[in-house]
Structure 1
Amino acid sequence: MAWEFSTVFWRDMLRFVRFRSLLISSLLQPAIWMALFGIAMSSNFNRFGSFAPPPPGVTAVGYLTFMAAGVIAMTSMFTSLSGGMSLIFDKTFGLMREMLASPMPRSHLLAGIGLSGVTKACIQSVIIMAFGLLIGVSFFQDQSLPEALVSVMGILVFVGVFSLGFLFLSSAIALKQESHEGMQGIITLLSMPLFFTSNALYPVENFPTVLKAIAVVNPLTYLVTGIRSFAIGDHFFAFGHEYCYTSGDILLAFGALCLFTLVTFTLAWHAVKHVVLT
């Protein structure tokens, strides 16, 4: 039955590659964020940071480097939340009915969509990291090539688990929706609050109490923490704050993402078992 799983995977990957506008926009958007927003705001934020010099022996990180990790996380979230759109197309054009009527287990449908979404997110993350290095992002400083490769793998593991969680959430929502417009509205409603209540663009230490509480349960916060620990290091200074990530912090972040993925998989599995086609 493995070929049925791979068929769903390759169908989504071919759709991603063949829709040139989707492919280009998914890669161009994060580049624009870093090249325009990141570089433009970097000079301003770095000037503010000059009033709070780093402690002796602690590496100071510029805003461009700080927010680059957030751009990777943002791209992974947007790509994953859009992953369920393929199920809307399947329902609209009758492909879903044929897949559910076939001998293919329904779990293979979720697995194929999940793997294709993770693959897209990982490819995009690698491209964003490479582009960031070209424009001056200080990732993997003082790391040898083998250490940098290990760091990249660590980032991709975090991205993969995070993407799976949002792909399952997106699939659960899509299986309950009947129109692309409704799905797009929910994606927009979820993505922007999650992005701006995380540590993707700025530290959460100065957030109001309510927003701090939201950041604690926001999966994006834990992904950004994991990316920064691998890409920048476990001890650095940015925005007037000293960051020190321990092994416990990284394990906690990874565990939180695994828990999130488990919960959303349960939702997606329930949705695919009880999907109703009209």
Structure 2
Amino acid sequence: MAAGLHFHTAPPARTARAADLSAVLYREYALLARNRVYLILGLTPMLVYLLLVNTSLSNLVRVVDYKGVSVGFAVFLLPMTLAMSVVSAAGTSAMAVFQEEMSGVATQLWSYPMRRSRFLLGKMIAGVSLVLGQTLLGLVVAAIMFDLPFGPENWLALLTALTLSALALNGLYLAAAITITDYQAFMVLSNVSMPVLVFSAPSMYTTESMPTVLQWVSVVNPLTYAINGMRDGAVFGFGEAWADLLVLAVMAVVGYAVGGRALLNRAGNI
């Protein structure tokens, strides 16, 4: 009776799943780290506003009345600067989708027996960590430059709002990048969207002081909830920020759900 052949080269299923994710994370971080031009372009607007606009306007407008509380203008303007960094870094992360296709890497990826869920999860983790890392750098610079009168709960609420903002905006930009097939169209969308989103939200002013039309636009502007969530969290804590945090969480779920579905369709067409 012939002896049976046994192969021991295939790793266990759990090890293979972990290897899938670690490989995706490695290439995503390598791709983002090598793209120094996009990283510089992502950091520049935040640092310009933080170092120039915040300091200049803080000397001009020292205190703002926000929901019945006197808030230093540097503190009031900080969420706008952080939100700009979130949008910029989310756009940079989404650009990687087009880089993969134009370089032919996407065809190689989808030819490999890799689960789409692992690919999407790796992109989500890498993108969000880029957004958070870049924005936290701005927060550290702001803490050094300005006297931020935040207690432990306020810091925790601010960081929670910042994390949910990173998840929501990164998910929305990733969904847009996967849904839009034209690179130039996405470039236009990415570059035009940042000033439109920032200045149609209550960034440098309160919602009540905005024109009526812009108040309507701000309701459907995702950056409104990011800025209000960070501002309310920093000034009041979780009690005032929970509604915006909930909206950001829903946007993150919707963004990654749409992006995941579009990713499956796009992979099938390669």
TM-score by length of 1: 0.80
Q: CA deviation at 1:135?
A: 1.9
User: What are the Cα deviations for residues 69-101 of structure 1, in whole angstroms up to 9, with x where unaligned?
Assistant: 210111111211332110101111221122222
Percent identical pairs in the alignment equals 21
Match for residue 188 of structure 1 among 171, 186, 191: 191
Match for residue 216 of structure 1 among 215, 219, 224: 219
Q: Which amino acid aligns with 1:66?
A: F
Aligned-partner Cα distance in 2 for 1:106–1:41? 47
Match for residue 255 of structure 1 among 242, 246, 252: 246
Q: Which is further off, 221-230 or 21-30?
A: 21-30
| Counterpart for residue 127 of structure 2 | 117
1:205 aligns with 2:196: no
Aligned-partner Cα distance in 2 for 1:230–1:210? 26
| Counterpart for residue 94 of structure 2 | 84
Q: CA deviation at 1:246?
A: 6.7
| Counterpart for residue 37 of structure 1 | 53
Task: Tell me: CA distance 1:16–1:171, structure 2 relative to 1, closer, same or farther (3 Å).
Answer: same
8 Å CA contact retained: 1:197, 1:214? yes
User: What are the Cα deviations for residues 107-129 of structure 1, in whole angstroms up to 9, with x where unaligned?
Assistant: 22221111111111221222111
Aligned-partner Cα distance in 2 for 1:3–1:202? 48
RMSD value, Cα: 2.6
Task: Tell me: CA distance 1:246–1:111, structure 2 relative to 1, closer, same or farther (3 Å).
Answer: closer
| Counterpart for residue 239 of structure 1 | none
User: What are the Cα deviations for residues 200-241 of structure 1, in whole angstroms up to 9, with x where unaligned?
Assistant: 22111122222112212222121122222333x21xxxxxxx
TM-score by length of 2: 0.82
Q: CA deviation at 1:151?
A: 4.3
Q: Which amino acid aligns with 2:105?
A: L
Q: Which is further off, 167-176 or 121-130?
A: 167-176
Aligned-partner Cα distance in 1 for 2:209–2:243? 22
Q: Which amino acid aligns with 2:29?
A: M
Q: CA deviation at 1:178?
A: 4.3
1:1-278 correspondence to structure 2 within 5 Å: 1-46=17-62, 58=69, 60-136=70-146, 138-139=147-148, 141=149, 143=151, 147=152, 151-231=154-234, 233-234=235-236, 247=239, 249-275=240-266, 277=269
Q: Secondary structure at the match of 2:190?
A: helix
Q: CA deviation at 1:272?
A: 0.8
Aligned-partner Cα distance in 1 for 2:206–2:24? 39
Q: Which is further off, 164-173 or 151-160?
A: 151-160
Task: Tell me: CA distance 1:83–1:95, structure 2 relative to 1, closer, same or farther (3 Å).
Answer: same
Task: Tell me: CA distance 1:130–1:105, structure 2 relative to 1, closer, same or farther (3 Å).
Answer: same
Q: Which is further off, 73-82 or 170-179?
A: 170-179
Aligned-partner Cα distance in 1 for 2:212–2:29? 42
Q: Secondary structure at the match of 1:205?
A: helix
Consecutive unaligned residues in structure 1, runs of 5 or more: 235-244
Q: Which has the larger radius of gyration?
A: 2
8 Å CA contact retained: 1:176, 1:271? yes
User: What are the Cα deviations for residues 158-189 of structure 1, in whole angstroms up to 9, with x where unaligned?
Assistant: 23332222223222332344443222111123
User: What are the Cα deviations for residues 230-277 of structure 1, in whole angstroms up to 9, with x where unaligned?
Assistant: 33x21xxxxxxxxxx772x42211111111122222221221111154
Moved over 6 A (4+): none
8 Å CA contact retained: 2:54, 2:77? yes
Q: How many residues are paired up? A: 253
Aligned-partner Cα distance in 2 for 1:193–1:21? 23
